[in-house]
């Protein structure tokens, strides 16, 4: 069994920054030791950091709070896995192939070469390739998901290239390593890590859709036959509903409270004459329903963009994110799609040791944490060695200079003992050989 390791992760989004520390011992279980969160983030828009200084201060504060937690101290964060999410993230399908000598065994090196060829495929020069996710391989004429060890004279693969705007990674690097001096151990595409953590193998094989509705973006990933088939980020989320409510002459903070307290994506069966501090609840629900239906319609449209139909997704729809907490949102999605809809949950092999974290939206950051724990051997925390200082503050005895009189007295004593030894040796020893006495 592997020794215990500590992993750190951070997820930076438009509504919050959340950081977490987990512990794994290699038996497949992840213990989430501590979680800290900063809300009302103004320096991040659509997942991209706009204000480096503000964001670095907030992240630094989160790291300090984590390091003070009882399950973490006296360890210090030296490295962190960083989640990638934001409006510019999407997938582009590409195909690559290699011709090989007859009866060539497909090795890991050949597969890696194919993946690198896929990442170098020409795409929009305003985008950067983050990852190449294999969809299917063909070795000769045989289709397979696991080509290693197969024999053929050619190999072809279909990849989903995960791409984003270069600013997404660049600004994360300028914020965390450059300003805070903390290494980025790896960038993790949050949507893919989440799908890996909370979707079951059966759901992926049957065909399912994962919807992560955040504040300013909604991420849609579609799986079929056990692999990723589509990935897109839509530029709207729960905050769009909140901003619609501000048209009723209320500030955004108040609009958010009204949305949570009385908003319903399914609307009201009968018109309401009630009002909340001068705001008619009928007007609120008209705005909420209109925007919620628009969001759901755009989510469902992604199935067509993926070249699929609702009947290709018998595994249903799994939903996460703060936006799905709106009353009636899951019901609306189920009604419009005709599919089974469930709320995403953490699996049993993830254990929350931090009791304060139970009510937080943790799936995304824990997915990044789990990816860091399972896909690498990195240790993110260390105990700093402090220089040993004597309790009294005095220098060690052997380093203290001896008083002059004490040193002279010891020299006289040593000469006396040496002389006495020679005289005894002359009386009882061999006068021609005194080498043993002199050793």
Query: Which whole-number Å values give the CA distances from 358 to 3, 345, 346, 355, 439, in the listed order?
Result: 27, 12, 11, 6, 74
Which pLDDT score is estimated for 113?
95
Closest CA to 150 of 109, 113, 105: 105
As a whole number of angstroms, the distance between CA 98 and CA 116 comes to 12
**pLDDT of amino acid 85:** 94
Cα separation, 81 vs 230, in Å, equals 24
Helix, strand, or coil here: 376?
Answer: coil
User: pTM of the full predicted structure?
Assistant: 0.83
Q: Which two tokens stand for residue 89?
A: 């993230």
Q: Where are the beta strands (DSSP E) in 85-201?
A: 90-105, 128-139, 142-144, 151-164, 183-189
| Per-residue confidence band for 243, with pLDDT thresholds at 50, 70 and 90 | very high
Bond preceding residue 74 cis, omega within 30 of 0:
yes
The C-alpha angle with vertex 340 and arms to 335 and 345, in degrees rounded to 5, equals 120
Mean pLDDT score of the chain: 87
Tell me the pLDDT band of 422, cut-offs 50, 70 and 90: very low
Query: Domains, the chain, ranges and CATH?
Result: 5-87+168-194+350-383 (3.30.420.40), 89-164 (3.30.1490.110)
CA distances from 312 to 204, 208, 297, 308 (A): 11, 8, 18, 6
Total residue count of the chain as it appears in this document: 439
Calpha distance 141→146 (Å, rounded): 14
Residue 213 near residue 330, CB atoms below 8 Å: no
CA 69 to chain centre: 20
Average pLDDT value for residue range 127-151: 94
The three-point CA angle 234-119-203 to 5° equals 50
Q: For residue 343, is pLDDT > 50? A: yes
DSSP labels, 194-205: HHHHHS-HHHHH
Confidence check: pLDDT of 375 > 60: yes
State how beta strands 75-77 and 381-383 pair. Answer: antiparallel
Quick one: what percent of the chain has pLDDT higher than 90?
72
- Report whether pLDDT(439) > 60: no
DSSP letter at 401 equals P
Taking only the tens place, the pLDDT of each residue in 87-122 is 999 999 999 999 999 999 999 999 999 999 999 987
Could you report the per-residue pLDDT of 56-91, keeping only the tens digit for each?
999 999 999 999 999 899 999 999 999 999 999 999
Query: 276: which DSSP letter?
Result: E
pLDDT for 203 equals 97
pLDDT of residue 146: 93
Longest dimension (CA), the chain: 125
* Pairing status of strand 317-320 against strand 341-343: parallel
pLDDT of 392 higher than 70: no
Query: Six-digit token pair at 308?
Result: 């699929």
Least confident of 3-7, 121-125, 216-220: 121-125
Give me the torsion for CA of 59, 349, 330, 297, rounded to 10°: 70
Predicted pLDDT of residue 424: 38
Cis peptide before 409 (omega within 30 of 0): no
User: CB count, 10 Å around CB of 369?
Assistant: 33
Torsion of CA 221, 225, 229, 234, to 10 degrees: -20
- pLDDT for residue 277: 74
Structure tokens, 12: 């930076």
């Amino acid at each position: 069994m592997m020794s215990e390791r500590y992993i750190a992760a951070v997820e930076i989004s438009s509504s919050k920054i959340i950081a977490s520390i987990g512990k794994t011992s290699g038996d497949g279980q992840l213990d989430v030791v501590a979680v800290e969160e900063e809300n009302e983030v103004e320096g991040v828009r659509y997942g991209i950091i706009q204000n480096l200084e503000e964001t670095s201060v907030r992240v630094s504060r989160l790291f300090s709070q984590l390091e003070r937690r009882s399950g973490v101290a006296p360890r210090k964060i030296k490295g962190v896995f960083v989640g990638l999410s934001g409006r510019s993230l999407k997938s582009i399908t590409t195909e690559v192939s290699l011709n090989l000598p007859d009866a060539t065994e497909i090795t890991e090196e050949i597969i890696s070469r194919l993946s690198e060829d896929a990442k170098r495929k020409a795409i929009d020069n305003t985008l950067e390739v983050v990852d190449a996710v294999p969809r299917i391989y063909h070795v000769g004429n045989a289709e397979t998901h696991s080509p290693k060890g197969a024999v053929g004279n050619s190999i072809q693969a279909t990849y989903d290239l995960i791409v984003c705007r270069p600013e997404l990674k660049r600004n994360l690097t300028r914020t965390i390593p450059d300003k805070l001096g903390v290494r980025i151990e790896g960038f993790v595409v949050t949507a893919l890590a989440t799908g890996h953590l909370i979707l079951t193998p059966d759901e992926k094989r049957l065909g399912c859709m994962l919807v992560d509705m955040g504040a300013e973006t909604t991420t849609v990933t579609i799986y079929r036959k056990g692999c990723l088939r589509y990935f897109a980020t839509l530029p709207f989320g729960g905050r769009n509903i909140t901003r619609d409510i501000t048209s009723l002459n209320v500030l955004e903070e108040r609009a958010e409270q009204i949305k949570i307290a009385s908003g319903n994506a399914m609307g009201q069966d009968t018109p309401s004459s009630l009002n909340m501090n001068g705001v008619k609840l009928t007007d609120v629900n008209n705005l909420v329903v209109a925007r919620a239906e628009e969001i759901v319609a755009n989510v469902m449209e992604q199935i067509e963009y993926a070249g699929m139909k609702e009947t290709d997704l018998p595994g249903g729809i799994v939903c996460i994110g703060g936006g799905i907490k709106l009353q009636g949102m899951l019901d609306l999605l189920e009604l419009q799609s005709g599919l089974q809809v469930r709320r995403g949950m953490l699996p049993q092999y993830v254990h929350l040791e931090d009791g304060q974290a139970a009510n937080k939206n943790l799936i995304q950051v824990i997915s990044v944490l789990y990816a860091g724990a399972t896909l690498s051997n990195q240790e993110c925390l260390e105990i700093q060695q402090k220089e040993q200082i004597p309790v009294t503050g005095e220098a060690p005895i052997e380093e203290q200079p001896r008083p002059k009189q004490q040193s002279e007295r010891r020299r006289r004593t040593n000469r006396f003992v040496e002389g006495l030894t020679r005289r005894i040796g002359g009386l009882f020893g061999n006068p021609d050989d005194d080498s043993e006495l002199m050793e």
